[in-house]
Amino acid sequence: MTAEKIILDGNLVAADIKGKLVDRINRLSEKGIVPCLATILVGEDPSSATYVRMKGNACKRLGIQSIRVDLPENTSTDELIAAINKLNADPNVHGILLQHPVPNQIDERAAFEAISIEKDVDGVTTLGFAQNAFGFADFPSCTPAAIIAILDYYNIPIEGKHAVVIGRSPILGKPVSAMLLNRNATVTTCHSKTTHLEDVVRLGDIIVAAVGKPKFVQGDWIKPGATVLDAGYNEGNIGDVDYDACLEDASAITPVPAGVGPVTIATLLKHTVEAAEKLSLHVNDGILFIKE
């Protein structure tokens, strides 16, 4: 291992993002506006409940209001969409997050599409995806945005680099590929049908692992000097990258935990504050006017 190796500490990046939100939240407060994130949880999946609780606690610590909507396991698609529409119509709610996955009987994509674009702070709608692809999304998907934030915080060049993204989900692999491309990287997006995957990964200056398989990316796949960003989180606090093995050749790497995860949550909070700023036009004579 060399002295130039950098452990990309997500807690530091998250603290920087949240620290920059304090004054913005205070300015909104002076206008009588409290940024508000509504989180919807369908069913009682323990992991999902933990994630929702973590997001709620993060909101509370920063002075963002958090509303939790719990729906039973047997909720239908129509019932879920009705709950989303109620939040869409509430001028005091600035961001809506539907915790996924949802139970099998629900059309998850239809539920995501019901979220107003102005409140889609998690970047899950197709309109938000399209805006991100064109490079002007207000709220790109939080984990891809977190990955870019980490690269920027540590001044890791993107332009001109070859980025290899392993994974093509519509809220992680595809949007982060678009964001890297928009930053002038050359991007290869890999997936389960990619042949000779390890040979493709070895070409990458920047590697993004987002496959949901523990220790999937092996150490001998990493080109010496590459930057490795592990967006996976598997049972036992294990990422998608074999961390110890990949550390040998990587110049910079995110750990799991304390890597991409904390920055993803901080990005969600940032988007919620930005949504409050955009939706809240002004306060005049004590009356808050909200853009419909």
246 assigned to some structural domain: yes
103 and 46 both lie in a single domain: yes
Given 18, 119, 120, 122, the catalytic residue: 122
162-166/95-98 β-pairing: unpaired
84 and 183 both lie in a single domain: no
Lowest-confidence segment of 55-59, 65-69, 234-238 by average pLDDT: 234-238
78 and 160 both lie in a single domain: no
Q: Report the mean per-residue pLDDT for the chain.
A: 94
150 and 211 both lie in a single domain: yes
pLDDT at 292: 34
Q: Which residue has the tokens 């409940």?
A: 49
pLDDT at 225: 97
Given 18, 55, 119, 161, the catalytic residue: 55
247 assigned to some structural domain: yes
104 and 38 both lie in a single domain: yes
Q: Is 119 a catalytic residue?
A: no
Q: What percentage of the chain's residues is helix, strand, coil (to nearest 5)? A: 40, 20, 40
280 assigned to some structural domain: no
pLDDT at 281: 60
Report, as an integer, the average pLDDT of 260-286. 84
- The fraction of the chain above a pLDDT of 90, given in percent, is 90
Contacts with 83 (C-beta within 8 Å, 6 or more apart), sequence order = 40, 69, 71
Q: Is 291 a catalytic residue?
A: no
Contact indicator for 167, 209 with CB cutoff of 8 Å: yes
279 assigned to some structural domain: no
What is the total count of domains within the chain?
2
95 assigned to some structural domain: yes
pLDDT at 280: 72
242 and 200 both lie in a single domain: yes
135 assigned to some structural domain: no
Given 99, 161, 174, 230, the catalytic residue: 99
C-alpha distances out from residue 97 to 39, 87, 100, 112, Å: 5, 10, 9, 9
pLDDT digits (tens, 9 = 90+) for 61-110: 999 999 999 999 999 999 999 999 999 999 999 999 999 999 999 999 99
Q: Is 122 a catalytic residue?
A: yes
Assess whether pLDDT exceeds 50 at residue 284: no
